[in-house]
Amino acid sequence: MGEGNLDVEFNIFKIALCQLSVTPDKERNISHARKAIEDAAAKGAQLVVLPEIWNGPYSNDSFPVYAEDIDAGGDASPSTAMLSEVAQRLKITIVGGSIAERSGDQLYNTSCVFDTDGKLLAKHRKIHLFDIDIPGKITFIESKTLTAGQTPTIVDTEVGRIGIGICYDIRFQELAMIYAARGAHLICYPGAFNMTTGPLHWELLQRARATDNQLYVATCSPARDAGAGYVAWGHSTLVGPFGEVMATTEHEESIIIAEIDYSVIELRR
């Protein structure tokens, strides 16, 4: 598949954004995500995207507790084992949101992409950690526990060339530009914006990245839990290459199904 070339298996296909509720019960979160992926596939989705940190709470206290050794696989990573199994069984591509990854002494916020044979195609470690202090509103210092990833991640799948970013990565146009220059059709950003930055920037940034680069942008957030330590904004969204919102939702749990047509990219350009 060459740069900008639309020689992919499916030019038109359905994407599902699974805006999942997340609880402190990891086993429940894994089986809940499995069920949502099955539902999405039953509705015709060939690409399923999950939220940022979907197997446990989004907090510095929880990251070390819920972290998995993805490279070891099997019992060391029940979350990614489930994603691999379901991708293979249902013959779909999965951008597996993100989970905390343990690698030696380091922890990362990591997104795994699986192909239709259940093979791990790529692992993206969040490059731009979410260190933020808006007095009286929100303080979150991801770098207290997490290490930043070092490399952009772009992957060829049966549903196109996909660039991966995680949440705060969306604020950095340079990353999206690299993906566009390398021929991405779609950038997927699992993300968990919050009640301060969500209303301000969530849709704006998605539409900006899509318009700047004239490609599709998909985001997937956890559903909002008003009682959680970190309250997610929700509003998972698909944006087209003209910066148009093609599908979105509010903050409750939901599965968004939408159609992507890559021929529109050339048309817009």
Ligand X SMILES: NC(=O)CC(=O)C(=O)O
Residues that are catalytic: 52, 126, 167
Q: Which stretch binds ligand X (CB under 6 A): 33-41, 78-86, 163-171, 214-222?
A: 163-171
Question: What single string gives the DSSP state of each residue in 93-162?
Answer: EEE---EEEEETTEEEEEEEEE-TTS-EEEEEE-SS--EEEETTTEEEEGGGT-----S-EEEEETTEEE
Task: Report if residue 111 touches ligand X, rule: CB under 6 A.
Answer: no
Interaction with ligand X in 54-73: which residues (CB under 6 A)?
Answer: none
Of 194, 213, 236, 237, which one interacts with ligand X (CB under 6 A)?
A: 194
Residue 84 three-state SS: helix
Task: Report if residue 171 touches ligand X, rule: CB under 6 A.
Answer: yes
Question: What single string gives the DSSP state of each residue in 158-200?
Answer: TTEEEEE--GGGGG-HHHHHHHHHTT-SEEEEE---BTTHIII
Task: Report if residue 268 touches ligand X, rule: CB under 6 A.
Answer: no
The nearer residue to ligand X, 34 or 201, going by C-beta atoms, is: 201
Interatomic CA distance for residues 94 and 48, integer angstroms: 5
Interatomic CA distance for residues 166 and 242, integer angstroms: 22
Of 167, 208, 210, 239, which one interacts with ligand X (CB under 6 A)?
A: 167
The nearer residue to ligand X, 38 or 225, going by C-beta atoms, is: 225
Of 168, 189, 216, 262, which one interacts with ligand X (CB under 6 A)?
A: 168
Residue 261 three-state SS: strand
First to last CA, the chain: 19
Residue 248 three-state SS: strand
Task: Report if residue 22 touches ligand X, rule: CB under 6 A.
Answer: no
Of 13, 54, 130, 216, which one interacts with ligand X (CB under 6 A)?
A: 130
Task: Report if residue 192 touches ligand X, rule: CB under 6 A.
Answer: yes
Q: Which stretch binds ligand X (CB under 6 A): 3-11, 82-90, 157-165, 193-201?
A: 193-201
| Residues in contact with ligand X by the rule CB under 6 A | 130, 167-168, 171, 192-194, 197
